[in-house]
A = this chain, B = another copy of it.
Amino acid sequence: MEIAILLFDGITPLDAVGPFEVLGRLPGAEVKFVAKKPGEYRTTGGRLGLIADYALDRVPAPEILVVPGGPGADAAAADAEITGWVAAVHQNSRWTTSVCTGALILGGAGILKGVQATTHWRAMDDLAAFGAIPVRQRVVKRGRVITAAGVSSGIDMALGLAADVAGEEVAKAIQLVLEYAPEPPFDAGRFADAPAARIEMVRSGLNRP
């Protein structure tokens, strides 16, 4: 089963690596990291480089597409070469998925018009601008389009998808390998509960690695 994960400069790597750790363990999974050109793609701060082995046109028909987000997603969503590939892949994919602002790239590909979808809480308005119907939910599944909220939600999305693809027992075994029994030290991950000062700190004050 061919699974394509898109890379681009300015990616948030957990958006891609969370689903990779889950979906890559499915029986028969063949993950391919794809990008406009094979080579190295960097996070916004430049600290981490990830390698894409495949150019877009080398992977025309994956069964599962995972589109991660990050600060570079806006540019990717406006890049006709990328969105053209995403739109073409979606024609035949079994599942088309996004994590975080990867939803904007699905939007740029015209996939979300009139479709309920989610993204990072900072990007809900941008998502609506592509004609999507934003939903504040961690994972939104509409037909074969699955969108996940910010960054870490890709793990939850991928586990649900793993169950759809290979059954609950396989998904649970993958969850066990990853020891995914979260114990966040704080209860601070939900936008709906966040005080204004914390939102402001996110908007202006944090490093972008």
Contact = CB atoms under 8 A, between A and B. Distances in A.
A51 B40 contact: yes
B47 A20 contact: yes
Nearest to A27: B207
Interface string A181-209: 11111111111001001110110011111
A174 interface: yes
A29 interface: yes
Interface stretch (A78-86, A104-112, A147-155): A147-155
Contact of A31 (B50, B185, B209): B209
Contacts of A180: 151-152, 182, 184, 188-189
Contacts of A202: 173, 176-177
B207 A194 contact: no
Q: Oligomeric state, in number of copies? A: 2
Contact of A206 (B174, B183, B205): B174
A124 to B, nearest CB: 12
Interface stretch (A58-66, A126-134, A156-164): A156-164
Across the A-B interface, the 8 shortest Cβ-Cβ residue pairs: A24-B209, A150-B179, A181-B189, A49-B51, A172-B188, A182-B182, A180-B189, A173-B201
Given A100-B179, A151-B180, A176-B189, 4 more contacts: A28-B207, A156-B183, A159-B184, A173-B188
Interface of A: 12-14, 17-18, 20-21, 24-29, 31-33, 40, 45, 47-51, 53, 100, 120-121, 138-139, 149-153, 155-156, 159-160, 163, 168-191, 194, 197-199, 201-202, 205-209
